[in-house]
Amino acid sequence: MELHRAFLNPVVAACAVFFMVVPAQASERSTSGEVSELLSELRDPDQERWQRIERQIARLWSRSGSASADLLLQRGREAMSRGDTTAAIDHFSALIDHAPEFAEGYHARATAWYMAGNLGLALDDLRETIARNPDHFSALAGLGRVFEDLRQYERARDAFRASAAIHPHRTDVRDAIERVERELTGIAL
């Protein structure tokens, strides 16, 4: 009986992993096309419904395909809204351990690191986000903000411009580009 149980535990674990991963992969494929269409609409500088499109994209990027990963993301975001960055970082770190390819986990943790004043770790997680989702306009804007705080103005400008190329409607990003360009002009003098 013990031999039978010892054999079944790895089999049950393998089945559980399969059923967790397959829906996540299918979910990623199904939302990938939808996100691409929405990003195309968002890139249109004359788009009047850009706020709705932005929310739809954010909602799709927040779906991991795993209920437990989505719960960790939700709990981390709730902790952030309470101002508890330590708990948020813990939840987001658990999320990344659970779903290491899920870009939004890194983006959420980067935000928490930034709020906690740890620019280096925020920068690392923003790079991980962009490696997994090169169209993540919020991560690109966050990258610009970190570079700006580090007084790396050329890198900040490049990151803000990359964000604006994907999402040309964000006034905060346009303002940041102008602010960084003023810094660069002042440095050139």
Parts of the chain belonging to CATH 1.25.40: 64-121
Second-level CATH architecture of 64-121: Alpha Horseshoe (1.25)
Determine the pLDDT at residue 188: 54
- Tell the residue number behind the tokens 């902790």, with chain if given: 79
With b meaning 16 or more CB within 10 Å and e meaning fewer, what string describes 164-189? bebbbbbeebeebbeebeebeeeeee
Q: What are phi and psi of 66, to 5 degrees?
A: -125, 125
The phi-psi region of residue 33 (left if phi > 0; otherwise alpha if psi is between -120 and 50; otherwise beta) is: alpha
Q: Give the per-residue pLDDT at 32.
A: 79
Q: How many percent of the chain have pLDDT more than 90?
A: 79
Spans of the chain below 70 pLDDT: 1-31, 187-189
Opening angle at CA 112, ends 106 and 116, nearest 5: 140
Q: What is the pLDDT of residue 176?
A: 97
Mutual angle of helices 119-132 and 137-149, in 10-degree steps: 150
